[in-house]
Structures are given as C-alpha cells and as structure tokens.
Amino acid sequence: MVLPTTLGAAQQLARGRIPASEARMLLCHLLGCGAAQISAYPERPLTEALAQSFMELLARRIAGEPMAYLLGVREFYGRDFAVGPAVLIPRPDTELIIELALELLGRDTRAPILDLGTGSGALAVTLALELPTSQVMAVDFSAAALDVARHNGERLGARVAWRESDWFTDVDATGFGLIVSNPPYIAEGDPHLSQGDLRFEPPTALASGPDGLDDLRRIIHAAPGFLTDDGWLLLEHGYDQAGLVRDLLDQAGYRDIRSARDLASIERVTLGRRP
Ligand code: GLN
C-alpha cells in the first residue's frame, strides 16, 4: 500500500471514497489543527506514522464506522462530549429536551432532575451546567456507558450523581421536579437499525420491543412514584410515535400533555405532568 506523504496526497487518496469534509476532519483529528489549515497547506508533509493512522481511519470510515467514534467526540449543546461504541452518539434533535427543560423550570430552578439512560451523559451534564442550582442524578444500566458519562461530567466540570440502574430499579431518591429520557424507541427489526451509524451503536440504546415502545411504557408507568406533585416527565421518541406516547401518558393519568417539534419539524419530544 502506498502511504500519502503530504496532506494533499492524503485528501487525494480519500477522494470519491468519503466526503472531502470528513477527510479534513480525520486529518484535523490526527494533527490537532483546524480544517482551514488542512486546506491551506496541501504540501505539508505527513510522517509515516500519521499517514498509517490516516489510512486506518479511512478504511474504518469506508466500512461505515461513525465519524463520532473515529474522532472520539461529538458536540452537543455547544460542548464536546467523548463518545465510543458503549454509548449512543448524541443527536442534535435531543437538544430539544434541554430547551424544553429550561423553558419549564427556568434558569434559577432548584428542582432535582433525573436523566434515565444517560449514555454519554449529554443530557445530564448539559442540564447540570445550564441549571447550576439544581441537583442532577443520571442512571444507565450499562457500566461501560456510565464510565463514559462520568468522564464527560468530570471533564466539563458538571456535578451529577451517577447511578448504575435499569431505569428506576436502583434510583435511591424521589421528589424529582423533572425526569428526562432519550430511551431506545426503535422497533426491533426496523430496517433503520441496519443502516448508517445505527449499525455500530449499542443495540440496547436503540431498539425496544416489537413496537419500539417497551421502555417508554416502563418509564411512563414508574415515573409518577419519583416525581413531585407537579413534576414533569419529558420523553424523546420516534418520528411517528408522538400520538402513541401522548395516549400512553393520558391513559396513565398525566396532565398538561403536549408534544414539541425538533429541527426537522417532527414531533420528537412529548411531555406531561405527574398524574
Ligand atoms: N434518534 C435515534 C435515531 O433514530 C434513535 C435514538 C434512540 O433510539 N433513542 O437515529
């Protein structure tokens, strides 16, 4: 295999295989410099070790591995979160939960907050930093995911109480003013699971029973025992599940139920107050 000896040659090699922007991002990651520099200095030499690393990343990207896993980082609500195969890659749509939480509670809230299935910790850490006067607890059933979340909390300076727990089973507190969750909500066997980034993400963070609603049902049924009288439950769900989630909340007796739209104008988050 011929190794590229300059930045320009590396980008040339990637052409037609991955988008040019991704090739630049991989080079930035390896060299620790900005994308503008990558484009401005095509003649800059690449050491053999860096060229080797670039070829490895290129091969993994061509095989479909998500950019976020190759770079080890994904931005969420303006902050960089470490990510790896143990956690779902944070999506821009999920920032809607943060916006709604800020709107419902206000900046000076002291309401304790719980994040269920925290994964990378994106929601819990962001809430803890945006609402510094409230206490945030976050759970995940995966110890490997919690390691990633804890690392993000420490690096970004967020105070979060981390717990290993299968939804509420090991939550050792009640009286939350807000419970948020981006649970798995894709139907088992859905073709999306075998496409794009999803092929490489933890299946347990994505799929949830034959209709995708198993975990949403569990959370909706158990949450009232952990919320204050007027506490809110905020749930992300699939693009076609808003009506179903509103019905589940309604059947469980929740009040003030409504759905909110994401950047693509899809009803993506549904909320309600404790029954
Ligand atoms: N929003 C993700 C996707 O469809 C799914 C995440 C989830 O199941 N919570 O790409």
Given the candidates 2.60.40.420, 3.40.718.10, 1.20.1250.20, 3.40.50.150, the CATH classification of the domain at 77-273 is 3.40.50.150
User: For residue 94, which atom of ligand 1 is closest to its CA?
Assistant: 1
pLDDT of residue 74: 98
* Pocket lining: 185 vs ligand 1, CB cutoff 6 Å: yes
Going from the C-alpha of 38 to that of each of 9, 113, 179, 215, the distances in angstroms are 11, 43, 43, 45
Closest CA to 149 of 110, 120, 192, 180: 120
* Pocket lining: 119 vs ligand 1, CB cutoff 6 Å: no
Do 149 and 136 touch, CB atoms closer than 8 A? no
Q: Please give the structure tokens belonging to residue 31.
A: 């060299």
User: For residue 207, which atom of ligand 1 is closest to its CA?
Assistant: 8
CA distance 206 to 122: 16
Do 226 and 171 touch, CB atoms closer than 8 A? yes
Rounded to the nearest angstrom, the distance between the alpha carbon of 11 and the centre of ligand 1 is 32
Do 77 and 95 touch, CB atoms closer than 8 A? yes
DSSP codes, 44-91: -B--HHHHHHHHHHHHHHHTT--HHHHHTEEEETTEEEE--TTSPPP-
* Pocket lining: 182 vs ligand 1, CB cutoff 6 Å: yes
User: For residue 212, which atom of ligand 1 is closest to its CA?
Assistant: 8
One pLDDT digit (tens) per residue for the chain, 275 residues:
789 999 999 999 999 999 999 999 999 999 998 878 888 899 999 999 999 999 999 999 999 999 999 999 999 999 999 999 999 999 999 999 999 999 999 988 999 999 999 999 999 999 999 999 999 999 999 999 999 999 999 999 999 999 999 999 999 999 999 999 999 999 999 999 999 999 999 999 999 999 999 999 999 999 999 999 999 999 999 999 999 999 999 999 999 999 999 989 999 999 999 99
pLDDT of residue 33: 83
Chain centre distance of CA 177: 22
CA distance 180 to 96: 11
User: Looking at ligand 1, which residue's alpha carbon is closest to its atom 9?
Assistant: 184
User: For residue 186, which atom of ligand 1 is closest to its CA?
Assistant: 8
> Which of 91, 123, 240 has the most ligand 1 atoms within 8 A of CB, as the residue to mutate?
91
pLDDT of residue 55: 97
Alpha helices in the chain (DSSP H): 7-14, 20-31, 35-40, 48-62, 67-71, 95-105, 122-130, 143-156, 214-222, 242-251
pLDDT of residue 201: 98
pLDDT of residue 52: 97
* Pocket lining: 184 vs ligand 1, CB cutoff 6 Å: yes
Rounded to the nearest angstrom, the distance between the alpha carbon of 186 and the centre of ligand 1 is 7
pLDDT of residue 101: 97
Rounded to the nearest angstrom, the distance between the alpha carbon of 7 and the centre of ligand 1 is 35
Helix (H, G, I), strand (E, B) or coil at 8: helix
Break the chain into its structural domains and give their ranges.
7-63, 77-273
Rounded to the nearest angstrom, the distance between the alpha carbon of 176 and the centre of ligand 1 is 25
> Which of 88, 181, 267 has the most ligand 1 atoms within 8 A of CB, as the residue to mutate?
88
Closest CA to 264 of 239, 244, 243, 245: 239
> Which of 93, 195, 206 has the most ligand 1 atoms within 8 A of CB, as the residue to mutate?
206
Q: Please give the structure tokens belonging to residue 74.
A: 């994904």
